[in-house]
Structure 1
Amino acid sequence: MAKVAIVGAGPAGCSAGYHLAKSGHDVTLMDKQGFPRDKVCGDGISIESIQAISTMGIYPHDIQKLASEYAPIHHFFLGVSNQISHSEQTNLEAYCIPRAVFDQLLYEKAIDAGCRFLVQTVHKNNWHHHGLTDAFDTIIDARGVSAGEVNAIAIRAYWTVQRQDLPETALLEAQIHFDRSLGVNGYGWIFPVSTQHDLIKLNVGVGVWLDEYQELKINVIQLFKQFVGSNKIAQQILSKVVEQQSPKVFPLATAKKGNRVTDGKILKIGDAANLTDPLTGEGIANAILSGFHVAQAVNMSRTPEAIADNWQYLYESHFEADLRAGLRIKAFRKFSFMNYLLIWLMKQNPRIARQVSHAVAGVVPYNEVLASLKY
């Protein structure tokens, strides 16, 4: 049995804690905040994420039973703002859930599995100063984007709309709008996150990559307002809004090449390991799966050195190929016509539409999408 410290109690940390505690290890789960807590995010829980949390014993019927707010997602919409769009229905169900609600479910699972919880802040990488390197056999860094390499920034706001003022499809559809005003790879989104009642809550936001954001030379709040003011669908919804919260900014640590996820006895997972999808900014699935696989690395190894080697190997085996494929697709999109062409192909070819939509939903790996576009 190993003494394990997990620093960060988000999806990655709670997943690692759950699996390690279930395996009989002595696990201390730390976070700078107590629960319940809010997390600024897009709130999208992809199909892959829903599959991933089943490893923690959480299934769709549990979400519908335990979550105070949620929205089942059956359609994925991709569009170039005000020009062309395609909406694809999926048989498998995704969700949008406010992170305050979703993270609480995972936290409770980790505690029920046997994790001890401690409110403690660990600044930067000064593990020795906090006494962690001496007190624990293994330290798992799950502090999120603050410990990763930030390369994107996003902003989101919650809007509330009367159910009667939205078409029925809007209650079941996650929309992504490519928009050149947000940079080559920038996009806006409109997600329903609470659809059980007469008042519907929507998560509306934009995401931009830092290298492109610096060239835009405009404040990110203004970028959000610019998207909302120019996108016709966002404008239509905004005209019906009965309540809106102020937009909030949050950073993202998306995939990067040549990624090292170990540093001695420190094992990085989730956003701390830059495992966020480089195209959509979705990080939940890889966060949860990285917690599962890092627990495997601990379980199959006898020394800290072996644990580190095995976690790096499992990262490369299970994550790197798809993240690299996502980075290649992102590079293709530097040409201004690529987003338009992709959606046009989706409208013409049902197979491509299904492949691309399922890739956005996390069901089909990006390297399979690249292969399918050749035929």
Structure 2
Amino acid sequence: MLVIVAGALLRLAVAQRGFNFDIASYRIVADIMANGGNVYEETQRYNYGPIWFHILAFLDTLPFPISDPLLSLRWKVTSFLSITDIAIAVCLYRWYGFKIATLFFLNPISIIITGYHSQFDNLAILMALISIKTLDNSSNKLSYKTLLGLFLLGVCLSIKHLLFLFPFWLAFKNTRWRDKLITLSIPYTVFLASFLPYLSKGADGILNHVFLYRGFANAPFWNGVAPEVIIDKIPIFVLFIGTLLFLGLFLRTKKPLESLYLYTIALVIFSSAVANQYLAICLVAISVHSNYIYTLYSVAGTIYLLASSDGLHFSLLQHYLGKSGNSSVIGYQELVFLLFLGLLLQLMSAETRTKTLHLVKKYILCLKQEIIMQIKSPW
């Protein structure tokens, strides 16, 4: 309870720094819903399934002591997303215990993204956890529990399509083609069916602003490590999709919940477009599989978000670190590279990990001795 109270208060405290573009977009969407309009027809500033704008419409009707409609909705959204984080922490507490739940809930990246940025990736992650946990507890055969889990995965996609390729990861695990087709068809059918009530007037908006929407293609991993000849020949979005599908095939022996954690980490690393809110997508996974590199990622990500112009924008830190994720001292490239190293460490066997750590310690000790010798050398 102390952890929950502390984490919730920190999220509300961070909200004192203000808000950004997303909250203004939510206000537009809530007004459209209040007037009985079609969100997909009337604005370009909504790129997701319909569930979130119904939640916004509900939150907007709740009484609140602040009269300003923008600020009122802003505090309601922050409170709702904080409750969502609490629900995730409770799941982690029940499944793994106090330590992992605390690592997630008090992670400063989670606090900043929920409290300031107010993106709702955590709601999709919560639904994904419930969905895949249901699948994890079902038998290998297609049972009612399996079908329920696949349906909930479709609901997850309808909230925010972070897991748009994850049905393929699940299908790769099936041994029969019938099971593969069912695993693919149920989530995508639920996702597509959610748009049907808005199709008559909002078809163009759904096509252009949901299915064809692309964020700013900064692709930090690909622009940081891939040779230019590859980037010039192959579109980065194709590299992104291809890598995720290959990893799903390569990791098909993992259990569904373990695959979910690996997917969320890979999604952030190999994405063709990364923004601040992406940094929180993998937090459940790196809390469950914590290692020292994931800890470095959390520390570096926190420092970046404190300085970022789209984060808490502390001017003192901006002076030393810069304020853009593409040009600052700690930026998206450094963060996804740390995440990549953490993933490699996670996937290593215990024996390989021990040998690697021993080798690293050996070279660090040699480097330390060499530096000391250089310092003590005579004039």
TM-score by length of structure 2 reads: 0.28
| Larger-gyration structure (1/2) | 2
TM-score by length of structure 1 reads: 0.28
If asked which structure has higher relative contact order (CA below 8 Å, sep 6+), I would say 1
**Structure ranking higher in strand proportion:** 1
**Structure ranking higher in helix proportion:** 2
